[in-house]
Amino acid sequence: MLKSIKEIYASKIDYQHIRVPCETPKICKRDEHCYGSCGELHNRIESRKSHCSSGENIRIIIDKKTLRPFDILYKPGVKNLFDIIREEGAD
């Protein structure tokens, strides 16, 4: 039987890094850990080794709740960067 792999939601992703909340901040002395994002911002699940002391395999979930750089521009009712690009076209 397969051992279940812990799933952790990424808090933020940008073109360099995926940021994942630390599970043991008192031991690691930090709030989050960084993984390479391979320059991709889309939703997905990444299999990696935990950077916490356990070092076990984890699944990092990147979904619509994961903060992207353009989300900083997003406020309810206000166009975000993607809406503007869609409307104005990107070339």
Of the candidates 67, 31, 66, 35, the residue with the CA atom closest to the CA atom of residue 50: 35
Our CB check for Zn ion shows the closer of 34 and 85 to be 34
Place of tokens 């080794």: 49
- Which residues between 10 and 29 bind Zn ion (CB under 5 A)? 22, 28
Burial class (CB in 10 A: 0-12, 13-18, 19+), 44: middle
Report the residue from 8, 10, 52, 62 that binds Zn ion according to the rule CB under 5 A: 52
Asked if 61 is part of the footprint of Zn ion (rule: CB under 5 A), the reply reads no
Q: Which residues of this chain interact with Zn ion, rule CB under 5 A?
A: 22, 28, 52
